[in-house]
Amino acid sequence: MNPMQMLKEAILSKGKAINQDVLLVDSFLNHQVDVSLMKAVGDAFAAHFSGQSIDRVVTIESSGIAPASFTALAMGLPLVIMKKQTSKILKGDLLQTTVRSFTKGTEYELTAKREFLPAGEKLLLIDDFLASGEAAFGVLNLAQQAGCEVTGVGIVIEKAFQPGHDRLVRAGLDVCSLARVKSMSEKGIEFVD
């Protein structure tokens, strides 16, 4: 079975729409992690992006780490995890920008060390969900501060009824979403195409 089919089957059999906006997938992506599925996901992103000149994979902690790790492994590239919480040991020349999450109603300082984003590099962002695109635009902001360019975005599950995809495409990015959810309710989950 191809990775996109595997992912859709996992969403249909294990995902739960809490309401029309939020999909619970903590049995294979956000809490317990199906690493075989994540390996397939990483291979699918590598197949899509491998023809492009990319220097580094980036993600945001915490649920982006599994798919991003397998992508970086498949592409033979370094991986940088952007932080949502600063700490006493996160020191040095830090890049920061505020990200607001509409889904969770929270706000955090997205943070990365400048030394792990060398100027001039092309970055591939991998993340678990795409909703409004706020987290992705936060990564674009940090990349710009570092003198890097995000050229591609790989998303495991996109909520296609929210504006993130269109915003990123309008910004000139190659967006590859493996599962595009058109709508969801207690009755079921529907995918785009």
Note the residues at the interface with ligand G4P (CB under 6 A).
Answer: 22-25, 30, 60, 62-64, 101-104, 128-135, 159, 164
Rounded Cα distance between 155 and 126, Å, is 6
Could you tell me if 117 and 150 are in contact, meaning their C-beta atoms sit under 8 angstroms apart? no
Q: Is 110 helix (H, G, I), strand (E, B) or coil?
A: strand
Q: How many helices (H) and strands (E) does the chain have?
A: 5, 10
For residue 170, the minimal CB distance to ligand G4P (Å) is 15
Minimum distance from CB of 111 to ligand G4P (Å)?
13
**Smallest gap from residue 31 Cβ to ligand G4P (A):** 8
Closer residue to ligand G4P (CB): 22 or 55 = 22
The values of phi and psi at residue 108, to 5°, are -145, 165
Q: How far is the CB of 30 from ligand G4P (least distance, A)?
A: 5
Minimum CB distance to ligand G4P smaller for 32 or for 50: 32
